[in-house]
């Protein structure tokens, strides 16, 4: 078996940390566009200057090398959008600066980083740009950062909305550290996704004890009592027959069935209790929109924070997650039904 896992992974995944201008990142970052109305009405349609976009395209040789037709298209789109947003140059510069600052950290962590927020004023101005593409920054030449942004405009209603932030980590240690920070920030509708149960994550997430044992116990007792009632009803009350000289309701002969039914109903209780507590089966979930998430059942560790969380805020949540040094961060969108 090869110890080098890179060998067996799809190219996309392998290059993840190096050249973040990838298809899915652009897609995911695009999700900043349509914020929920209750988020102060600000649509953080993030912008970048044309110059920045060009620099991004020119500088990111690695990215260009792997960028296929789609990213190239995006570049064009970005240019158009950027031209349209030329008046927002000052704001965008500010955003680029932000991006640089965050990406330094990220560079330290050896990972590419998503960065940059748009100024609120600018965002408000472009609120109608429902399809605004988001920004992707990546390290270039010893930590120098560029933010590449696509912006597109569309007149139609948005067909998707942000569903959750998805932060990816390489190791369980990173995940647990990050989980502690998210927990301390007071989020509720968030989760960790791991390929196997990571010990210590219960505390790191601040989860309370599971109630499944209670469900199992109750079901087991129902099984026990129903065994007694069943046997006494059938063999002692409804049709008492004396067999082998034993009294119809004798206790010892009930023991095996009492035991078996206790076990059987405990098993059913545990199975259905598990499915109920985990709200499974749930075959459709916005988190599956992310292609990167497929590694969650392999060797990557994820934190997701849902937009449904009362504390969720596109900017603040993003900043919080960036602080935890994810190897990748994206905003996952779901189709509006």
Question: Looking only at residues 208 through 237 of this chain, which bind other proteins when binding is defined by CB under 8 A?
Answer: 210, 212-213, 216, 220, 230-231, 234-235
Least Å distance, CB 227 to other proteins, is 9
CB of 22 to other proteins, least distance (A): 15
Distance between CA atoms of 44 and 125, rounded to whole angstroms? Answer: 10
For the CB of residue 223, give the shortest distance to other proteins in the complex, in Å: 10
Least distance in Å: CB of 248 to other proteins? Answer: 8
Between residue 266 and residue 305, which ones bind other proteins under the rule CB under 8 A? 266-268, 270-271, 273-275, 277-278, 280-285, 287-289, 291, 293-299, 302
Two structure tokens written together for 333: 């969108």
Of 37-56, binders to other proteins (CB under 8 A) are none
At its nearest, how many Å lie between other proteins and the CB of residue 263? 5
Q: Considering only residues 114, 192, 329, 331, which one is a binding residue for other proteins as defined by CB under 8 A? A: 192
> b vs e for 262-277, b when ≥16 Cβ sit within 10 Å of the residue's Cβ?
beebbeebbeebeeee
Binding of other proteins at residue 2 (CB under 8 A)?
A: yes
Contact 149, 52 (CB under 8 A): yes
Query: Does 194 contact other proteins by CB under 8 A?
Result: yes
Size of the site for other proteins (CB under 8 A): 82
User: Judged by CB under 8 A, does residue 261 bind other proteins?
Assistant: yes
Interatomic CA distance for residues 178 and 324, integer angstroms: 5
Cβ closest to other proteins, residue 30 vs residue 56: 30
Identify the residue among 41, 263, 308, 310 touching other proteins (CB under 8 A): 263
DSSP, residue by residue, 19-75:
----HHHHHHHGGGSS--TTTTT--------HHHHHHHHHH-HHHHHH--HHHHHHH
Pairing of strands 144-149, 135-140: antiparallel
Site map 146..175 versus other proteins, x via CB under 8 A: -------------------------xxx-x
Q: Which helix (H) or strand (E) holds 147?
A: strand 144-149
Query: Minimal distance in Å, beta carbon 167 to other proteins?
Result: 14
Question: Which ranges in the chain belong to alpha helices (H)?
Answer: 11-14, 23-29, 50-59, 61-66, 69-84, 89-108, 120-125, 172-184, 201-205, 212-231, 255-277, 314-323
């Amino acid at each position: 078996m090869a110890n080098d896992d890179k060998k067996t992974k799809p190219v996309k995944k392998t290059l993840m940390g190096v050249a973040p201008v990838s298809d899915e990142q652009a897609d995911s970052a695009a999700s900043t566009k349509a914020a929920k109305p209750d988020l102060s009405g600000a649509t953080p349609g993030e912008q970048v200057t044309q110059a920045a976009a060009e620099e991004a395209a020119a500088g990111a040789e690695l990215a260009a090398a792997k960028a296929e037709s789609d990213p190239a298209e995006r570049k064009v789109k970005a240019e158009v959008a950027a031209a349209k947003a030329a008046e927002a140059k000052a704001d965008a510069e500010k955003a680029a600066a932000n991006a640089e600052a965050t990406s330094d950290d990220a560079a330290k962590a050896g990972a590419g980083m998503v960065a940059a927020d748009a100024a609120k004023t600018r965002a408000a101005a472009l609120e109608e740009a429902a399809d605004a593409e988001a920004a992707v920054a990546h390290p270039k030449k010893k930590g120098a950062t560029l933010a590449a942004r696509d912006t597109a405009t569309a007149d139609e209603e948005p067909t998707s909305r942000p569903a959750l932030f998805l932060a990816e980590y390489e190791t369980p240690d990173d995940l647990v550290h990050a989980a502690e920070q998210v927990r301390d920030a007071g989020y509720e509708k968030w989760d960790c996704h791991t390929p196997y149960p990571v010990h210590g994550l219960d505390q790191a997430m601040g989860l309370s004890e599971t109630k499944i044992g209670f469900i199992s116990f109750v079901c087991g007792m129902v099984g026990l009592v129903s065994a007694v009632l069943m046997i006494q009803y059938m063999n002692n009350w409804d049709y008492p027959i004396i067999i082998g000289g034993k009294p119809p309701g004798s206790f010892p002969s009930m023991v095996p069935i009492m035991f078996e039914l206790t076990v059987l109903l405990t098993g059913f209780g545990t199975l259905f209790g598990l499915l109920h507590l985990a709200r499974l089966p749930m075959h459709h979930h916005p988190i599956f929109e992310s292609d990167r998430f497929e590694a969650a059942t392999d060797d990557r560790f994820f934190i997701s924070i849902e937009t449904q969380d009362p504390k969720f805020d596109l900017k603040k949540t993003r900043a919080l997650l960036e602080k935890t040094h994810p190897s990748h961060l994206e905003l996952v969108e779901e189709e509006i039904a």
